């Protein structure tokens, strides 16, 4: 278990919650992966997660990522998350820690630009990277801000799109593609527990990531829930990771099922190039492609 997950684990009681602890088997991949989860919590935001050193480095992007290089989107750094968290799509009950609906909004592969060392870039406060996702493609930068303008202790960054073939003056164009990349569902369908279950991207040995009606109970109301349970007849509650024989095997929004990691990487990078344009994929165009040893060093798995 990576030591950087200590903060994540300290906020959760895994005897009370079905959230991932980091113990589930995660499939290998030829490139580091990224996931963006749309999270309708107290405030709607988009959680950007970059795979590095065996965990997801994570930022909450308050207004969502923009395609317009003129936009500077606030990205609040949060605790590292386990890699199996990247497949979750479902509901955390309102009033509990992180309560709200979670959608796997985008996912794919990423690399730092050139041969930049990820740890040094994060320490310096400027990480330039390239995404090859279904919705987001091309070059971005995360820049750490000096202090918290709101007077708190948050570690604030800015997420900015670089000017390239995947930039657009319509910054919110990608945000209007508002269906899950893992299940094709809307936020309403996910909240209601209907439609297809999400297809896995991080997890190995499974045809689906979680049940369509997956619910996570966080630690905030564990004691209250226990008291209510002891006072009332027991009732069945859907939990993450429990297989249902009747659940439909999920496909991605593009209509493809989960592929072998190397084939999936090739497919994602190939799709990243705009149609009818002789443009290299975002990973290749940035010079971010790496040899197998370099890719292994980048993920540090």
Average pLDDT, consecutive stretches of 10 residues, N- to C-terminus, the chain (301 residues): 60 52 79 97 94 95 97 95 91 76 96 93 96 97 80 81 97 96 95 91 73 58 43 40 32 35 47 42 63 47 45
Which tokens sit at 187? 């936020």
pLDDT for the residue 219: 46
Q: Which pLDDT score, from 0 to 100, does residue 65 have? A: 98
pLDDT at 275: 37
Strand partners, 209: none
Please give the full DSSP string across 126-155, using - where no structure is assigned: EEEEEEEESS-EEEEEEEE-SS-TTSS--E
What pLDDT sits at residue 284?
Answer: 67
Q: Are the CB atoms for 33 and 200 separated by under 8 Å?
A: no
Distance (Å, whole) CA 55 – CA 4: 8
Query: pLDDT value at position 203?
Result: 87
**Which pair of structure tokens corresponds to residue 142?**
């995360």
pLDDT at position 22: 58
Closest CA to 118 of 290, 284, 267, 261: 290
- pTM of this structure: 0.70
Q: Minimal CA–CA distance to 85: which of 29, 154, 21?
A: 21
């Amino acid at each position: 278990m990576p030591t950087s997950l200590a903060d994540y684990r300290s906020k959760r009681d895994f005897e009370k919650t079905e959230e991932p602890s980091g113990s589930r088997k995660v499939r290998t991949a030829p490139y580091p992966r990224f996931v963006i989860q749309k999270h309708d919590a107290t405030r709607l935001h988009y959680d950007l997660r970059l795979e590095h050193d065996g965990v997801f480095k994570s930022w909450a992007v308050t207004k969502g990522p923009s395609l317009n290089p003129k936009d500077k989107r606030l990205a609040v750094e949060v605790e590292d998350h386990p890699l199996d968290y990247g497949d979750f799509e479902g509901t955390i009950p309102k009033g509990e820690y992180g309560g709200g609906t979670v959608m796997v909004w985008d996912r794919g592969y990423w690399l730092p630009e050139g041969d930049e060392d990820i740890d040094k870039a994060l320490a310096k406060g400027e990480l330039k990277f390239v995404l090859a996702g279904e919705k987001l493609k091309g070059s971005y930068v995360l820049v750490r801000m000096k202090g918290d303008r709101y007077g708190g202790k948050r570690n604030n960054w800015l997420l900015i799109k670089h000017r390239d073939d995947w930039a657009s003056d319509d910054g919110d164009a990608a945000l209007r593609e508002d269906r899950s990349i893992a299940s094709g569902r809307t936020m309403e369908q996910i909240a209601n527990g209907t439609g297809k279950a999400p297809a896995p991207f991080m997890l190995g040995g499974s045809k689906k990531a979680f049940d369509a009606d997956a619910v996570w109970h966080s630690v905030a109301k564990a004691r209250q829930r226990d008291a209510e349970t002891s006072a009332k007849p027991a009732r069945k509650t859907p939990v993450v990771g429990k297989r249902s024989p009747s659940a439909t095997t999920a496909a991605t929004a593009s209509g493809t099922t989960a592929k072998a990691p190397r084939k999936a990487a090739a497919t994602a990078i190939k799709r990243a190039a705009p149609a009818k344009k002789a443009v290299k994929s975002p990973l290749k165009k940035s010079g971010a492609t790496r040899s197998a040893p370099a890719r292994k060093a980048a993920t540090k798995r």
